[in-house]
């Protein structure tokens, strides 16, 4: 299975690489990936499944990842200083900027609004999009994410896994990615090591950018606690979280759903900080039901709609 379209377009002052699946005339679904992860982490089979549920699926590389713009001239990110002293002055951008990247991509594709699905950091970006421009959001699905860094409560092993020095060869990079996936992945499902190896190899071939990952991490820290902002979200929302997530504890997902009025909470037994294939059908059904609900509750005057 393969993407139906792809490209690199100007968006919010940078360039964003994207791929699409399905019919451009269907309801658009923008998929936002997590920390340091290229769009390929959204498995193409999952994208095809969602396209089969009537979505025009759009996955893309965030800034500082994959084929999108890398801000190599930005100041050196000081994550340690941010964590120890609360000094976020070295942040090159915030979640607000990354949210505007998503809207810039929609603009480039001729879409005025979309359903938005975000995972982990991508969930934080999606939440921020819903805060900044709710008129351009048809629905929000927040997956394994949080409204505040203080709610993540990772296990020690998971936290240490994300701070390892980057590998220095393709083979070592693949092995490291698989090892980390075993640590933060789903305890109730077998790991898909073949897929992890494929994505890790693609990431290496595109060029690893450890400083770019740190810049994304700094964006999270510089954006701080977003509880009050998330509390104001009023668009139809689905919150999905695994009860075995060792990186962002399920309490963060529960808190997200508690903050957003009428949000639906879907806690997945045995799921960690990844998205196992057996979970996909239930997730696709839930996102499709959310989109149906959003269409039923849309005001008669009409908010902005996407144009494929």
Q: pLDDT (tens digit, 9 = 90+) per residue, 96-139? A: 999 999 999 999 999 999 999 999 999 999 999 999 999 999 99
Predicted pLDDT of residue 305: 40
Predicted pLDDT of residue 307: 35
Q: Per-residue pLDDT averaged across 192-219, rounded?
A: 94
Predicted pLDDT of residue 80: 85
User: Of 241, 237, 263, nearest to 251 (Cα)?
Assistant: 241
User: Of 241, 235, 240, nearest to 291 (Cα)?
Assistant: 235
Q: Per-residue pLDDT averaged across 18-40, rounded?
A: 97
Model confidence at 300, pLDDT cuts 50, 70, 90, reads low
- CA–CA gap between residue 163 and residue 115 (Å, rounded): 33
Cβ 136 vs Cβ 49: under 8 Å: no
The per-residue pLDDT of the chain, averaged, comes to 94
Model confidence at 299, pLDDT cuts 50, 70, 90, reads low
Predicted pLDDT of residue 86: 87
- CA–CA gap between residue 174 and residue 171 (Å, rounded): 5
Q: Which residue in the block uniquely carries the two structure tokens 């936290």? A: 159
pTM over cut 0.85: yes
Q: pLDDT (tens digit, 9 = 90+) per residue, 214-269? A: 999 999 999 999 999 999 999 999 999 999 999 999 999 999 999 999 999 999 99
Q: Per-residue pLDDT averaged across 296-305, rounded?
A: 59
Strands (E), the chain: 5-11, 14-21, 27-32, 55-60, 114-119, 137-143, 237-242, 264-268
Residue ranges and CATH numbers for the domains of the chain are 5-297 (3.40.50.1820)
The two beta strands, 5-11 and 137-143, are unpaired
Model confidence at 150, pLDDT cuts 50, 70, 90, reads very high
């Amino acid at each position: 299975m393969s993407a139906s379209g792809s490209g690199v377009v100007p968006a919010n002052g940078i360039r964003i690489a994207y791929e699409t699946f399905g019919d451009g005339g269907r309801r658009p679904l923008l998929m936002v990936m997590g920390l340091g992860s290229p769009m390929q982490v959204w498995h193409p089979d999952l994208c095809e499944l969602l396209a089969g549920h009537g979505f025009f699926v759009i996955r893309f590389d965030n800034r500082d990842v994959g084929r999108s713009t890398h801000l190599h001239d930005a100041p050196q990110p000081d994550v340690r200083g941010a964590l120890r002293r609360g000094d976020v002055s070295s942040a090159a951008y915030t979640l607000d900027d990354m949210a505007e990247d998503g809207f810039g991509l929609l603009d480039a594709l001729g879409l005025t609004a979309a359903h938005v699905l975000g995972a982990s950091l991508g969930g934080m970006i999606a939440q921020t999009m819903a805060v900044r421009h709710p008129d351009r959001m048809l629905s929000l699905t927040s997956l394994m994410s949080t409204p505040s860094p203080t709610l993540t409560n990772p296990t020690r092993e998971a936290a240490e896994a994300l701070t390892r020095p980057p590998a220095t060869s393709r083979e070592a990079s693949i092995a490291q990615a698989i090892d980390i996936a075993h640590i933060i992945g789903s305890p109730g499902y077998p790991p898909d090591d073949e897929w992890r190896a494929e994505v890790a190899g693609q990431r290496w071939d595109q060029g690893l950018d450890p400083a770019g990952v740190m810049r994304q991490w700094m964006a999270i820290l510089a954006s701080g606690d977003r509880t009050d902002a998330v509390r104001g979200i009023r668009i139809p929302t689905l919150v999905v979280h695994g009860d075995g997530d060792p990186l962002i504890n399920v309490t963060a997902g529960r808190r997200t759903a508690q903050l957003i009025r009428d949000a639906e909470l879907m806690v997945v037994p045995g799921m960690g900080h990844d998205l196992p294939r057996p979970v996909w059908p239930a997730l696709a059904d839930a996102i499709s039901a959310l989109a149906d609900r959003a269409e039923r509750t849309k005001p008669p005057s009409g908010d902005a709609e996407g144009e494929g």
